[in-house]
């Protein structure tokens, strides 16, 4: 198996932290959903609630569940030291075996344990508990409840890389020693998501998220920011809201989902970066949703639901692309954006009207302008407008290859940052090759022995000259190198990226790189797409020119040395005019300073809508 991915990144698969209440554990569909997530490659940490399991264990053993009433009237399970071993037993003998059995039956490997095991999670003891009793308030000092203080990230990360599913439950270890400490399972899930830098946190409940009226199952609150949900939360839902707001300190996208499902359709989302104006809501939320390459399903489903709410037909196709369509006819305009981003780990935020966050420029800002244009504009008869949010643009181009073969078009606008007042007319092509070697180990003191590292250095040292001989404007970069002695064998890999100017055949570039792989070294082509350009005289460019003129803009025309899904379409599409347009400064792509100003976004929205209108009326 290759040591280096398509972009030579060490980024691990997406991590879901999923809290399942004890009632949800009785619904088999939630385990089917976990299986589907695992099949998509996600890492899964499940936090299991135990109210039903504790009740069952106490019934079996003939014990009485002792409760207290808090000052605000909530019933609390009383957990003195003498009771903790029975609570641990309830999880270990009822709740965790249920989870393990359901998942194992589906072919998943499972590690299931209470979180105090090996001190995977530690907590500090809470102070005395104030309770109501006989109309009076008293202090309970022996209640064994705590606040999470640490999570053993290295060991949990190791477990997540070993097992398909890791399942933890309360209680946790007392950081100061002594009997275990009970903690709220929702809060445990939130703290674990924070510590592990999770991509997604789902708090699964028996209702469709948080309801404004508990008696009305259709009264779900769809979008909340910190502090907004507390006025509606009652009983156990208070802890879910509290947990969701704890998670806002991190980077995961967070939702309370249900009834008894992981699906976020109809869920309550919690957002850490509320937009300063309603027309920026979709932009802000899309940027907050984690969608690193191969983890685009959540954002695709979110945007499909948004489209349905705004009268746009949308679906997720066989390649997992989002496909939204309006109108029908023989003239077809494709607006092709992408859902995925390169890896990131910092919270999204607004500074006034400047949105900072991964994807704001590359290229969720563009995709959102396309979707909002589609929702706001009704094409004339005979015109079909289609927006596609493609998957894996940043790595394999898989989504765009599917688009190339499934959605023919007469003109294409590609969603990449050009800046609101510029238009990209073309891109360099891309050739990406993996060099690799695997051969028996030889002693380095032997005559003529070459290590895997030597082999990689040899071939990489020849790449720049070989590429320069093809075209002086071609660019090369080594994305990553790995060379290891693995017992009886040595293995080495290197991923090389070549940017191919228009006019240079990518097959010629591939042949030149293959020629460098001699002896035991082999070369495998990961990607080969041509450079592409569109003339200014094309009808598509003229439609943008008129839009720019309406706005009083003198546009800049760009030829980019990067590549995009435009190049993928160009592998087979001939004579189809294609440009790239979207808000933002492309120099910020893939950087920790990625940000987008609301004025830039709005201007791009106006200009794009005008250009689409002009093209549709031609």
Catalytic residue numbers, as ranges: 340, 393
Q: Which two three-digit tokens encode residue 51?
A: 């109210």
Cα separation, 514 vs 534, in Å, equals: 30
Query: Angle, nearest 10°, between helix axes 364-376 and 281-288?
Result: 140
Half-sphere exposure of 159 (CA within 13 A, CB side): 21
* Residue in this structure with the two tokens 């073309």, named with its chain if needed: 426
Under DSSP, the state recorded for 24 is G
Strands 15-20 and 200-204 come out as: parallel
Helical residues (DSSP H) of 12-80, grouped into ranges: 29-39, 51-61
**Measured distance between the N- and C-terminal CA atoms of the chain, rounded to whole angstroms:** 52
Q: Where are the beta strands (DSSP E) in 374-513?
A: 383-390, 411-414, 422-427, 429-440, 475-486, 489-500
| Among 32, 462, 30, residue whose Cα is nearest residue 258 | 30
How far is residue 136 from each of residues 67, 74, 129, 130, 597, measured CA to CA in Å? 16, 15, 13, 10, 56
**What is the token pair recorded at 510?**
């591939």
- Helix H or strand E segment including 297: helix 297-309
3 state SS of 455: helix
What contacts 24, CB < 8 A, 6 or more positions away?
30, 49, 204, 205, 206, 258, 260
């Amino acid at each position: 198996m290759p040591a280096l991915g398509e972009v030579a990144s060490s980024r691990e698969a997406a991590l879901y932290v999923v809290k399942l209440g004890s009632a949800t554990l009785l619904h088999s569909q939630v385990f089917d959903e976990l299986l589907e997530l695992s099949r998509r490659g996600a890492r899964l940490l499940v936090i299991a609630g135990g109210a039903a399991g504790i009740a069952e264990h106490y019934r079996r053993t003939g014990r009485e569940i002792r409760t207290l009433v808090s000052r605000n009237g909530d019933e609390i399970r009383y957990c003195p030291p003498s009771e903790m071993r029975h609570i641990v037993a309830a999880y270990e003998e009822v709740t965790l075996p249920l989870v393990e059995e359901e998942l194992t039956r589906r072919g998943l490997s499972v590690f299931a344990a209470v979180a105090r095991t090996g001190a995977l999670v530690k907590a500090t003891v809470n102070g005395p508990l104030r309770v109501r009793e006989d109309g009076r308030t008293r202090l309970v000092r022996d209640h064994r409840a705590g606040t999470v203080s640490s999570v053993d990230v290295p060991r949990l990360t190791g477990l997540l890389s070993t097992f398909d599913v890791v399942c933890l439950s309360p209680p946790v270890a007392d950081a100061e020693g002594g009997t275990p400490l009970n903690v709220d399972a929702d809060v445990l899930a939130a703290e674990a998501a924070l510590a592990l830098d999770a991509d997604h946190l789902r708090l699964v409940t028996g209702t469709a998220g948080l309801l404004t009226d508990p008696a009305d199952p259709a009264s779900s609150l769809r979008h909340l920011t910190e502090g907004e949900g507390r006025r509606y939360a009652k009983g156990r839902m208070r802890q879910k809201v509290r947990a969701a707001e704890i998670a806002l300190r991190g980077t995961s996208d967070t939702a309370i989902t249900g009834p008894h499902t992981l699906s976020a359709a109809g869920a309550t989302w919690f957002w850490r970066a509320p937009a300063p104006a309603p027309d920026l809501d979709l932009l802000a939320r899309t940027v907050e949703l984690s969608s690193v390459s191969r983890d685009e399903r959540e954002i695709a489903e979110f945007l499909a639901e948004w489209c349905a709410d705004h009268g746009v037909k949308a679906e997720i196709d066989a390649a997992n692309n989002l496909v939204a369509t309006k109108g029908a006819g023989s003239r077809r305009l494709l607006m092709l954006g992408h859902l995925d981003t390169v890896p990131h780990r910092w919270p999204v935020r607004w500074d006034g009207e400047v949105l900072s966050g991964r994807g704001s420029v590359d290229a969720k800002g563009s995709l959102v302008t396309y979707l909002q244009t589609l929702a706001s504009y009704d094409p004339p008869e005979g015109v079909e407008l289609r927006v596609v949010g493609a998957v894996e643009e940043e790595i394999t181009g898989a989504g765009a290859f599917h688009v190339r073969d499934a959605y023919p078009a007469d003109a294409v606008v590609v969603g990449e940052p050009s800046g609101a007042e510029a238009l990209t007319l073309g891109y360099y092509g891309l050739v990406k090759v993996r060099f690799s070697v695997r051969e028996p180990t030889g002693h380095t003191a032997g005559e003529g022995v070459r290590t895997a590292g030597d082999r990689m250095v040899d071939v990489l040292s020849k790449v720049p000259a070989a590429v320069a001989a093809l075209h002086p404007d071609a660019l090369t970069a080594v994305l990553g190198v790995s060379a290891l002695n693995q017992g009886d064998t040595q293995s080495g890999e290197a991923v090389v990226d070549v940017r191919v100017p228009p006019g240079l055949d990518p097959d010629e570039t591939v042949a030149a790189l293959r020629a460098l792989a001699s002896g035991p070294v082999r070369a495998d082509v990961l990607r080969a797409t041509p450079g592409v350009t569109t003339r200014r005289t094309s009808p598509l460019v003229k439609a943008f020119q008129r839009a720019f003129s309406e706005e009083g803009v003198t546009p800049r025309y760009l030829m980019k040395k990067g590549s995009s899904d435009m190049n993928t379409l160009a592998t087979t599409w001939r004579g189809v005019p294609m440009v790239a347009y979207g808000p933002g400064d492309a120099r910020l792509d893939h950087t920790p300073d990625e940000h987008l100003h609301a004025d830039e976004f709005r201007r791009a929205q106006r200009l794009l809508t005008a250009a689409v209108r002009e093209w549709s009326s031609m």
